[in-house]
Chains A and B, each alone.
Chain A
C-alpha cells in the first residue's frame, strides 16, 4: 500500500541499513527496526521531517532486526527518487505502524500485483506458510519479488502470472485471466487482495461473479 499522508505525524528516526535495487526501478529499503508491528501493517516514511510521510506496507518478518520496504521509483514523485539515493547510515523518518490488513492461519488466497506483494511477504516471513495460495501478477519475469523465498515452501500454491514475457514456471498472461479460467473457488477461505485499484476492483468483481461471497474478500489498495 502506498499513499500520501499530508498531516503532521509523530516521526521517529531510523537509519538505513541497505537500499538495494532488486529489479529495474524497484528497491528494497532496509531500516533499523525500533518498533513492533503486525504482518500486513504499514508505516509512513519520509526523508525530510518537513515533508509529509508516504505510507508503505512493511514486507519483513516481525522478528527481523530491520524493517523492509518494497518500493518502485516514481519519476514524478517527491519521495521515491530521493529515497532511492539513500545509502547505509543515512537517516529516515517513520511513523508508527498502523493498519488492519491482517491474516491468520486459516485458509486464504493472497492475490497481489506488482509491489502489492509486500504485505504477503511480511505475513509469509512471519510464519504464515501453510493453507496459503499466493498469486502474483507482474509484467516481466523479474517482477516476482522474493520468489526465491516463496517457491520452495509454497510450491504449486505459488503462481506467477506474467503479462508481457514468457519463461519457464510462469503463467503467461494477466492475473485476471488466470483467475477467470478457474472454475470454482474454495468457499471456506478468505481472499486477500493487494495492488492497484484497477486490479483490486477487477479481481473482486471476478471473484464475486464466480460465487465467492463478498464478505470473504479483504482488499488493500494503493492510493
Chain B
C-alpha cells in the first residue's frame, strides 16, 4: 500500500502525525520547516530530527515530491511543466512566467475541469479528479525556478473554488509563517464565480480574487459559460459588493476578448453599469483560438479601443501580455496529449 504523503499537510495535520507517532510536538514545526522552507527531497535529509523520528516517519510516510516529466520553453522565457499526479494516467500543467522584476507561477487546482466553458481547452478533457493540497504545493516546491518566484496565480487547469478544501489548505501553507511565508498579496485565485466557494475563500484567506467575467450580458454569458445557469453573474457581483475588501486586497475581472461577440461599445456600457460601485481592475485577455473553437480573438485595435473606453469610464483596465504563445502556455494542450482517455463513459 502506498504510504501517506507529508507534503501538503498543514501544521495542524503534521502535529497530529507526530503525536500519532509518539514524537515530541515540536517535531511538527521542524518537519514543516524542511518541507516548505528548504530544498530537501527525502526524509533522511531532515537532519535536526532524531534518528528515531526519521525512521518512524520513513516507515509511515513519503515526502511526496514529484518531479516534472516534461518541459516546454517559449522564446519569451515562459516555461510550461507537466507533472504527474497521484492518480495514474493523470497530468497537470504549470506555467512559469518570468517578466522583468517578477516571476509568476500559474498553478493547476484540478485535473481537467467540470465547468465546460466554451473557450477553454482544459474543459475538453472533462474532469479527471481533484488535486490534493500536496499536488498543488508540489507545483511550487518542485519547480526548478522556485527561488525566483514572486507571485502565484491559481489560473491553471481546473476551477479552484470547486476544490475549496484543498485549495484553502494550499493557501495556508503558501502564506503561513510555518509554511512558505509568501505574502497573500502576491497570490491571486481566479474563479468563474462559484459563490459558496467565493464566500469561504474571501472569509478565510487574504489573497486576491479574480473573477472570469467575459461578458456583462446574462444570456451571452450563459452560452460561453454554463456556470451562469447556476450562479448568475449578478449574484456574484452582489456578493462582491457586500464584501469588505479593505485597502490592500484586490478584486479583478478577467475578460477574454472574442471577435464580434463581447467587444462592442454596448459591452463597455453594460460593464460600467454592472460594475458600478465595485473598486476593481479589469484585465483584458487576447483569445488565442483552440482547436475546433467557433470563437475568434478580437483584433488589436478593438482590444485597445475597448481598454481605452473602459479606462475613460473609470474602470482601471489593462491588456494582459500574451506569453508563451509558441508553447500554448495558456491551454490544456500538453496534458490533453498525455491524457489517457477513460473508456467507459455512460452516455
Tell me which residues from 162 to 181 in chain A have a Cβ below 8 Å from any Cβ of chain B.
163, 174-176
Separation in Å of the B44 CB from the closest CB of chain A? 35
Is B282's beta carbon under 8 Å from chain A?
no
Check B295–A214 contact: CB distance below 8 A: yes
**CA distance in complex: A113, B258 (Å):** 30
B200, A7: Cβ atoms closer than 8 Å = yes
Instruction: Give the CA-CA distance A163 to B258 in the complex, in Å.
Output: 37
Identify A196's interface contact among B123, B200, B292, B346, CB under 8 A.
B346
Out of A5, A176, A199, A200, which one reaches B226, CB within 8 Å? Answer: A200
A175–B345 Cα gap in the complex (Å)? 10
Partner of B223, one of A101, A196, A214: A214
Residue-wise interface mask of A (206-223) relative to B, using a CB-CB cutoff of 8 A (1 in contact, 0 not) = 001100011101111111
Given the interface pairs A137-B347, A197-B116, the reply to whether A99 lies near B126 with Cβ below 8 Å is no
Of the listed residues A98, A196, A197, the one surrounded by the most CB atoms of chain B closer than 10 A to its CB is: A197
Is B346 touching A113 in the complex (CB atoms < 8 A)?
yes
Contact B347 A7 (CB under 8 A): no
Complexed CA–CA distance, A143 and B115 (Å): 24
Does A1 lie at the interface of the complex (its beta carbon under 8 Å from any beta carbon of B)?
yes
Point out the residues of chain A lying under 8 angstroms from B164, CB to CB: 6
B229 close to A (CB within 8 Å): yes
Tell me the bound Cα distance from A174 to B29 in angstroms. 54
CA distance A196 to B347 in the complex (A): 9
The answer to whether A221 touches B114, judged by C-beta atoms less than 8 angstroms apart, is yes
Alpha-carbon distance A201/B220, docked complex (angstroms)? 18
Query: Could you tell me if A198 and B126 are in contact, using CB atoms closer than 8 angstroms?
Result: yes
A175 and B347 contact, CB distance less than 8 A: yes
Q: How far is the CB of B201 from chain A (nearest CB, A)?
A: 11
- Of the residues A5, A163, A201, A218, contact of B126 by C-beta under 8 Å: A201
8 Å CB contact of A52 from B196, B220, B227, B228: B196
* B118 adjacent to chain A (CB < 8 Å): yes
List of B residues within 8 angstroms of A113 by Cβ = 346-347
Check if B113 is an interface residue, CB within 8 A of chain A: yes
Whether B331 is near chain A, meaning CB under 8 Å from some CB there, is: no
Total interface residues on B, CB under 8 Å, equals 34
In-complex Cβ contact of B114 among A6, A204, A223 (8 A): A223
Which residue on chain B has the smallest CB distance to residue A113? B347
Residue of A nearest to B224 (CB): A214
Whether, in the assembled complex, B195 has its beta carbon less than 8 Å from a beta carbon of chain A, the answer is yes
Pick the contact of A218 from B127, B159, B199, B222 — CB < 8 Å?
A: B222
Query: B124 and A205: CB pair below 8 A?
Result: yes
Chain B residues with Cβ under 8 A from A1's Cβ?
229-230
In the assembled complex, the CB of B109 is this many whole angstroms from the nearest CB of chain A, namely 13
Q: Are A99 and B347 in contact (CB under 8 A)?
A: no
Q: Confirm or deny: B206 has a beta carbon within 8 angstroms of a beta carbon on chain A.
A: no
B24 sits at the interface (CB 8 A): no
8 Å CB contact of A197 from B113, B195, B346:
B113
**Separation in Å of the A56 CB from the closest CB of chain B?**
12
The dominant DSSP class at the A interface is mixed
**Complex contacts, A121 vs chain B, CB 8 Å:** none
Residues in chain B near residue A223, CB distance under 8 A: 114-115, 127, 159, 162
Minimum CB–CB distance from A214 to chain B (whole Å) comes to: 5
B297 at the interface (CB under 8 A from A): no
In the complex, chain A residues whose CB is within 8 Å of the CB of B232: 100
B277 located at the interface, meaning its Cβ lies under 8 Å from any Cβ of chain A in the complex:
no
Which chain A residue shows the least CB distance to B346? A139
Other-chain residue from B162, B229, B292, B294 in contact with A220 (beta carbon distance below 8 A): B229
A174-B195 Cα distance, complex, nearest whole Å: 34
**Taking each of B118, B164, B195, which has the highest tally of chain A beta carbons within 10 Å of its own beta carbon?**
B118
Kindly state whether residue B4 has any CB partner on chain A within 8 Å.
no
Q: Which of B112, B199, B294 has the most CB of A within 10 A?
A: B294
Determine whether the beta carbon of A163 is less than 8 Å from that of B118: no
**What residues of B have a CB within 8 angstroms of the CB of A174 in the complex?**
345, 347
Q: 8 Å CB contacts to A: which residues of B198-238?
A: 199-200, 218, 220, 222-223, 226-230, 232
CB of A161 closer than 8 Å to a CB of B: yes
Tell me which of B115, B218, B220, B222 contacts A221 (CB under 8 A): B115
**Taking the nearest CB of chain B, how far is it from the CB of A191, in angstroms?**
11
Whether the Cβ atoms of B346 and A114 lie closer than 8 Å is: yes
B292 contacts A100, C-beta separation under 8 Å = no
B197 at the interface (CB under 8 A from A): yes
| Chain B proximity of A72: nearest CB distance (Å) | 10
When the two chains form their complex, are residues A204 and B345 in contact, meaning their CB atoms are under 8 A apart?
Answer: no
Q: Are A222 and B199 in contact (CB under 8 A)?
A: no
- Does A70 sit within 8 A of B, measured CB to CB? no
For the complex of A and B, 6 pairs with smallest distance between CB atoms:
A113-B347, A198-B126, A137-B347, A7-B196, A223-B114, A219-B226
15 contacting pairs across A/B (C-beta < 8 A) = A6-B200, A7-B195, A52-B196, A100-B228, A137-B347, A139-B346, A196-B345, A200-B226, A204-B116, A215-B223, A218-B226, A219-B229, A221-B115, A221-B116, A222-B114
Further 19 A-B residue pairs, CB within 8 A, beyond A55-B230, A197-B127, A219-B226: A4-B196, A7-B199, A8-B199, A42-B230, A100-B228, A137-B347, A138-B346, A163-B345, A176-B347, A196-B126, A197-B115, A197-B123, A197-B126, A200-B116, A218-B222, A220-B226, A220-B229, A223-B114, A223-B162
